[in-house]
């Protein structure tokens, strides 16, 4: 027995929505196609069984109607010959054959409805499957094209020696910054060396002593 819920979901599905909502459209579309193919196979198998059942019911109905007619002829013949018991027996068989024929005909009508439903489902599934397979091809072409463009871009990147003018500019800036930092380190080292060689500034007492000595010499020279 086919999974009616799955078939209903497939028939109600919108293929473009599957692609739009999926995080991996190619994978989700492949799953949908697989389910649609499985459901289509189930519907076709049921359709074949329903047609065989219909044909058998049709044969049964025809045979039972024929049998009912034959029993009626026997009942008429017995009644004409005043063979009442034989006539009643024939009428009983005629009634039974007629009831069986009606039952077969009712089941035959139900089988025809089932076949019509299955054929409709088959046609809709075929259409949905064709639609999904077409979208699969379109998606595959887009993906292959994107991959080709990506490979072409990578080849161009390598052929230009990296990232082109923008990448070269970044490299020059990085080299210039490195050189500037090196110069700052050298300059810093020179200043520190000079500072150590000259020594720390004299204290106020030392400066005052020097000033007094200078004034004393100046006074001596003037006096």
Domain ranges of the chain: 4-159, 166-222
More confident residue, 111 or 30: 111
> What distance in Å separates the CA atoms of residue 18 and residue 132, rounded to the nearest whole number?
10
> For position 191, what pLDDT does the model report?
42
- Rounded to a whole number of angstroms, the distance between the first and last alpha carbons of the chain is 136
Residue 127 vs residues 25, 27, 29, 48, 218: alpha-carbon distances, Å: 20, 20, 15, 20, 119
Q: What is the pLDDT of residue 178?
A: 63
pLDDT at 212: 73
Dist CA 83 CA 88 (whole Å): 9
Residue with tokens 């999974």: 3
Check if the beta carbon of residue 154 is closer than 8 Å to that of residue 163: no
Asked if residue 65 has pLDDT above 90, the reply is yes
pLDDT digits (tens, 9 = 90+) for 156-166: 556 555 555 55
**82-to-56, 72, 93, 95 alpha-carbon distances in Å:** 39, 15, 18, 20
pTM above 0.85, yes or no: no
Structure tokens given for 31 = 């799953």
Q: pLDDT: is 201 or 90 the higher one?
A: 90
Task: Give the C-alpha separation, 59 to 48, whole Å.
Answer: 17
Tokens read off for 23: 């995080």
Higher-confidence position of 214 and 56: 56
């Amino acid at each position: 027995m086919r999974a009616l819920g799955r078939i209903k979901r497939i028939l109600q599905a919108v293929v473009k929505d599957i692609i739009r909502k999926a995080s991996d459209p190619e994978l989700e579309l492949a799953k949908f196609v697989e389910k649609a193919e499985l459901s289509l196979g189930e519907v076709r198998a049921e359709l074949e069984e329903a047609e065989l059942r219909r044909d058998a019911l049709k044969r049964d109905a025809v045979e039972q109607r024929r049998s009912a007619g034959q029993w009626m002829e026997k009942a008429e013949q017995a009644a004409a010959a005043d063979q009442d018991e034989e006539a009643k027996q024939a009428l009983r068989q005629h009634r039974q054959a007629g009831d069986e024929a009606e039952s077969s005909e009712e089941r035959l009508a139900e089988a025809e409805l089932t076949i019509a439903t299955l054929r409709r489902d088959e046609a809709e599934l075929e259409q949905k499957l064709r639609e999904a397979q077409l979208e699969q091809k379109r998606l595959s072409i887009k993906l292959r094209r994107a991959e080709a463009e990506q490979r072409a871009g990578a080849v161009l990147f390598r052929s230009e020696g990296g990232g082109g003018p923008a990448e070269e500019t970044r490299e020059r800036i990085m080299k210039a910054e490195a050189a500037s930092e090196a110069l700052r380190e050298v300059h810093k080292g020179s200043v520190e060396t000079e500072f150590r060689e000259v020594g720390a500034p004299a204290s106020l007492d030392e400066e005052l002593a020097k000033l007094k000595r200078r004034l004393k010499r100046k006074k001596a020279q003037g006096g």
